[in-house]
Amino acid sequence: MNLNDETELEYALRGKAWKVYWFLLRNGNPASVREVQRALHFSSPSIAHHHLEQLRELGLVEKQEIGGHYVLVGEVKIGVLRHYVKLGKLLFPRYFFYALFSTVFYLLYLLLLVQEFNRDNLFILSFGAIVCVIFWYEAYRVWSMRPF
């Protein structure tokens, strides 16, 4: 996907279409128009249908012939999705893993290796605390940017 296509796709995936795409990405299962309408609190099924058809025209979803459910066929990494990692049906901000990793090793250092508080340990402890806080802040910031 070149930059022009990515820009056009990002423009097409905004507002309610973005929420529908996010729902299908998180859900991981085929969804009917009514399921999308109820989950996203749309006022009518026709709004959900319109946005599902818009996603189908973009090549991101397909409509199943039996049952008429929509299933996600393409994943794009645009907008805030660039900062997410999908594990099964769960989406995590990439910074969550950095924060978890740095916090675990910071706590292990505190519990196992710190014998006394000298100047070297004070530097490592303060630097480790700052790194952990920055990663947790970034994870929270990206998490709060999700559509719902």
pLDDT tens digit sequence for 22-75: 898 888 889 999 999 999 999 999 999 999 999 888 888 899 888 889 998 877
* Tokens, residue 83: 């900062």
Answer yes or no: is 16 within a domain: yes
Answer yes or no: is 148 within a domain: no
Answer yes or no: is 137 within a domain: yes
The model's pTM: 0.66
Answer yes or no: is 32 within a domain: yes
136 band by pLDDT with thresholds 50, 70 and 90: very high
Are 66 and 105 contained in the same domain?
no
Q: Structural domain of residue 132, as residue ranges?
A: 79-143
Answer yes or no: is 44 within a domain: yes
Are 7 and 68 contained in the same domain?
yes
Are 61 and 102 contained in the same domain?
no
User: How many Cβ atoms sit within 10 Å of the Cβ of residue 70?
Assistant: 26
Q: Summarize the confidence of residues 117-131 as an average pLDDT.
A: 89
Residue 57 belongs to domain with CATH number: 1.10.10.10
117: CB partners within 8 A, 6+ apart: 125
